[in-house]
């Protein structure tokens, strides 16, 4: 159960389930443009940390034609930042996935992939910072979809079971 009352206001503002759910929705939606079978569930734990960490998203390449492995090779410190961020926000990724599934903005396919659902209402009150985050989520969805195997992504990002 999500206990928002006992969290610092900064955490509620930046990592609340509805906000993270919107980011996840955009990542999945853009991932599915190349791979309609959906985004592997586990990539939610790659996408959200990359979008929510300023040091990571501010260093994204200018387009999704750039290779993830080259990006990490050229910026080795980002791998450490990613790993630390991924561990620190995994709890919030769990909440975002559960919230998304509950709200049907994300649907779980029979093979365990995340599929784009529907948003109840389009939010017209997003500020520039939030719009940038949504754009980054779209970018990461497209970027991750260009890599054939999710295991390749895990290897590049230093993720081990």
Query: Distance between terminal CA atoms of the chain?
Result: 26
Provide the b/e sequence for 115-149 (b: ≥16 CB within 10 Å): bbbebeeeeeeeeeeeeebbebbbbbbbbbbeeee
pTM of the model: 0.89
pLDDT in tens, the chain (161 residues): 566 677 777 766 778 888 899 999 999 999 999 999 999 999 999 999 999 999 999 999 999 999 999 999 999 999 999 999 999 999 999 999 999 999 999 999 999 999 999 987 666 667 787 888 899 999 999 999 999 999 999 999 998 77
């Amino acid at each position: 159960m999500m206990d928002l009352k006992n969290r610092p206001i900064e955490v509620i503002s930046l990592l609340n389930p509805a906000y993270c759910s919107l980011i996840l929705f955009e990542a999945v939606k853009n991932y599915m443009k190349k791979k309609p079978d959906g985004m592997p569930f586990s990539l939610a734990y790659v996408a959200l940390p990359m979008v929510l960490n300023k040091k990571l998203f501010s260093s994204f390449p200018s387009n999704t034609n750039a290779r993830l492995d080259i990006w990490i090779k050229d910026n080795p410190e980002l791998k450490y930042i990613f790993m630390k961020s991924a561990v620190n926000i995994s709890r919030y990724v769990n909440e975002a996935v559960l919230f998304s599934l509950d709200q049907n903005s994300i649907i779980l396919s029979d093979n365990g992939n995340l599929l784009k659902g529907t948003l109840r209402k389009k939010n017209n009150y997003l500020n520039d910072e939030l719009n940038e985050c949504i754009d980054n989520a779209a970018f990461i969805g497209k970027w991750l979809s260009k890599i054939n195997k999710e295991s390749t992504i895990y290897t590049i990002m230093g993720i081990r079971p």
